[in-house]
Amino acid sequence: MSKIISVLIVLALSVSILVGCEQNSSTKLSEAKIDSLKSKLDSMYIPGTGEIMNGIIQPHHIKLWMAGQNENWTLAEYERHLLLGGFNRIQKYHKGTTVADMVPMIYPVMDTIKEDIMKKDLSAFNRNYLLLTNTCNTCHQATKYEFNVIKVPTGSDFADQAL
């Protein structure tokens, strides 16, 4: 009987050692896969600040204005939210740069515009939209992009959308 117990103990130890070895090699394999994926992520495309400004921020700045002028408050809030997304991307992808460090200056006026939209107050919206635009220009000056002057739109560049 004790021989059987001894054999079972040896078998149990052998199996646990084999399982432990397999887990260790699969852990090493998983670590290699993780390292490979991290390397791929590091080399992925990251949009530049100009692409974010021209592709996200500028169009939504214009559309926010047009939605407000047409008192389409639902669309105005949607465009305000998308505009914020552009600023958030600059902070995410360009952390530690002067441009990303300046982004928080835009948040107070964006909060005020949100209040104007909620109140459906066109007069306040117009004043604060001008403040938003001036804040953009202040940021451009502080980051040495003073040649890029933003203004309140005079028309829509989005002829295919009812704003």
Segment 100-120, tens digit of pLDDT:
999 999 999 999 999 999 999
Architecture of domain 49-142: Up-down Bundle (1.20)
Q: How crowded is the C-beta side of 105, counted as CA atoms within 13 Å?
A: 18
pLDDT tens per residue, range 142-158: 999 999 999 998 877 77
Give the three-class secondary structure for 48: coil
Q: Is the pLDDT of residue 8 over 70?
A: no
Furthest C-alpha separation in the chain? 96
- DSSP 8-state secondary structure symbol assigned to residue 154: S
| Helix, strand, coil percent values for the chain (each to nearest 5) | 75, 0, 25
* pLDDT tier, 82 (very low <50, low <70, confident <90, very high otherwise): very high
pTM of the model: 0.73
The encoded tokens of residue 92 equal 């995410």
The pLDDT value given to residue 31: 82
What does the pLDDT read at residue 40?
76
Q: What is the pLDDT of residue 67?
A: 96
Q: Which residues contact 118 (CB under 8 A, 6 or more apart)?
A: 73, 77
pLDDT for the residue 55? 94
Per cent of the chain over pLDDT 70 is 80
pLDDT above 70 (res 14): no
Sign of CA dihedral 143, 147, 151, 155: negative
Query: Could you give the 3-state DSSP secondary structure of residue 6?
Result: helix
Q: What is the DSSP string of 90-139?
A: HHHHTTTSHHHHHGGGGHHHHHHHHHHHHHT-HHHHHHHHHHHHHHHHHH
